[in-house]
């Protein structure tokens, strides 16, 4: 039994913070990319333009009828206008009828 003054009580706070976004289940993978529209989203760093060029070429070789919407259509998701670009991204992806997106940060 303690006879001294009561010890202070502290609230415990997790270093992980609160979850502020609810996750959603992932969509089923596409069975094939043939005839699909693939959209490129890039942060304009490193050499992503070279990576996208190589991917584009290979996708067209492997998947007949694949259509690629190149990254300039979406803007720089890491630049000074990133908030605006990212805010418009869902509408642009719908507008271009993207079936899949490749996001890249370069090599």
Q: Is the pLDDT of residue 4 over 90?
A: no
Considering the entire predicted model, what is its pTM?
A: 0.74
List the chain domain ranges: 37-104
Is the pLDDT score of 1 beyond 70? Answer: no
pLDDT tens-digit series, residues 10-55: 888 778 877 788 888 988 999 999 999 999 999 988 888 899 999 9
Q: Exposed e or buried b for every residue in 53-86, given b needs 16+ CB within 10 A?
A: eebbeebeeeeeebbbbebeebbbbeeeeeeebe
Q: Mean pLDDT, to the nearest integer, of 60-86?
A: 95
pLDDT at 31 (0 to 100)? 95
């Amino acid at each position: 039994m303690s006879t001294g003054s009561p010890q202070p009580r502290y609230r415990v706070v997790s270093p992980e913070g609160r979850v502020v976004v609810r996750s959603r289940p992932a969509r089923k993978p596409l069975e094939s990319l043939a005839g699909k529209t693939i959209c490129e989203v890039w942060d304009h760093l490193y050499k992503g333009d070279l990576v996208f060029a190589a991917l584009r070429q290979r996708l067209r070789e492997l998947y007949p009828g694949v259509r690629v919407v190149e990254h300039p259509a979406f803007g720089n998701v890491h630049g000074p206008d990133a908030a605006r670009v990212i805010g418009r991204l869902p509408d642009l992806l719908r507008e271009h009828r993207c079936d899949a997106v490749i996001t890249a940060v370069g090599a």
